[in-house]
Amino acid sequence: MDLATLIGFLGAMGAIIVSIMLGGDFGMFINIPGLMIVAGGTAMVTLMKFPLSYTLGAFGVAMKAFIHKAQKPEEIIEQSVELANIARKEGLLGLEQVEVQNPFLKKGIELLVDGHDAEFVRKMLSKDINLTIERNEDGVAIFKSIGDIAPAMGMIGTLIGLVQMMSNMDDPKALGPAMAVALLTTFYGAVIANAIALPIADKLAIRSKEERINKSMILEGVSAIQEGMNPRVIEGMLRTYLPNADKPDKAEKAA
């Protein structure tokens, strides 16, 4: 569970709801025609822009913003070095008995144990990385699109409400509902875009970057293990993926 995303989402929604309740009746902010225009219109326009499978898949990808927790790179390095030590002592077949939790690393080790050549292993793992990045980018694109569409639909709802209001100037009872549609649709569009869709898109972009780095580390580690590279060399090579603050400095290397 990503506490930052959950706390941020609940905090933003809570701040909006509390502000509404402190200012009056919460029910006055619920307008069915306005919700139909903004929520329904945003959903339909999104379907126009993207295939149905992409749109439905994006909501599955969106869960990464809330529940996905990327494995720490240090853990990947540690396990890669451990696997390299086992492979040097017992051969690649010795890796078959090792329990590996990371699905991508497990897939790479299985390819090594099955005896596939280095080119095939790298090709299969690279394809997995590319497909994962592609799915993540589709999810980011869809939520960014929702962030663009929702305010636009809110503006359309505002125009509809203003037209209805102007056409009923002689009927004071009709002005209130029309004004509610005009104002609330803008409110709904702003909330959907700025409190939901765009933050999720940004968090998914970060998750995609983390996943790409981790899988690239695993790919390099698996290839190095297959080549029989020294575990210490593998560790140094994989540590180049870490932020500068986490890399061993020259003094440590010399020691």
DSSP states along 3-15? HHHHHHHHHHHHH
- Is residue 5 domain-resident? no
Over residues 99-108, mean pLDDT: 92
pLDDT at 40 > cutoff 60? yes
**Measuring CA to CA, how many Å separate 27 from each of 46, 189, 192?**
28, 18, 18
Task: List, for residues 52-77, the tens digit of each pLDDT value.
Answer: 888 888 877 788 778 877 788 999 99
Task: List, for residues 114-170, the tens digit of each pLDDT value.
Answer: 999 999 999 999 999 999 899 889 889 999 999 999 999 999 999 988 888 888 777
C-beta separation of 113 from 93 below 8 A:
yes
- Is residue 37 domain-resident? yes
CA dist 30 and 39 (Å) reads: 13
Q: How many domains does the chain have?
A: 1
Task: Answer yes or no: pTM beyond 0.85.
Answer: no
Q: Please, how many CA atoms are within 13 Å of residue 40, restricted to the half-sphere of its CB?
A: 8
Name the burial class of residue 41, with classes exposed (0-12), middle (13-18) and buried (19+) by CB atoms within 10 angstroms of its CB.
buried
CA 61 to centroid of chain Cα atoms: 6
- Is residue 9 domain-resident? no
DSSP string, the chain: --HHHHHHHHHHHHHHHHHHHHHS-GGGG--HHHHIIIIIHHHHHHHHHS-HHHHHHHHHHHGGGTT--PPPHHHHHHHHHHHHHHHHHH-GGGGGGS---SHHHHHHHHHHHTT--HHHHHHHHHHHHHHHHHHHHHHHHHHHHHHHHHHHHHHHHHHHHHHHHHHTTT-HHHHHHHHHHHHHHHHHHHHIIIIIIHHHHHHHHHHHHHHHHHHHHHHHHHHHHHHT--HHHHHHHHGGGS-GGGS--HHHHH-
- Is residue 20 domain-resident? no
- Is residue 98 domain-resident? no
- Is residue 188 domain-resident? yes
Q: Which domain holds residue 193?
A: 32-72+121-254
Q: Using 50, 70 and 90 to split pLDDT, how confident is the model at 250?
A: very low
CA dist 224 and 84 (Å) reads: 8
Q: Which of 124, 144, 253 is nearest to 196 (CA)?
A: 144
Q: Using 50, 70 and 90 to split pLDDT, how confident is the model at 1?
A: low
The percentage of residues in the chain with a pLDDT greater than 90, rounded to a whole number, is 55
- Is residue 10 domain-resident? no
- Is residue 180 domain-resident? yes
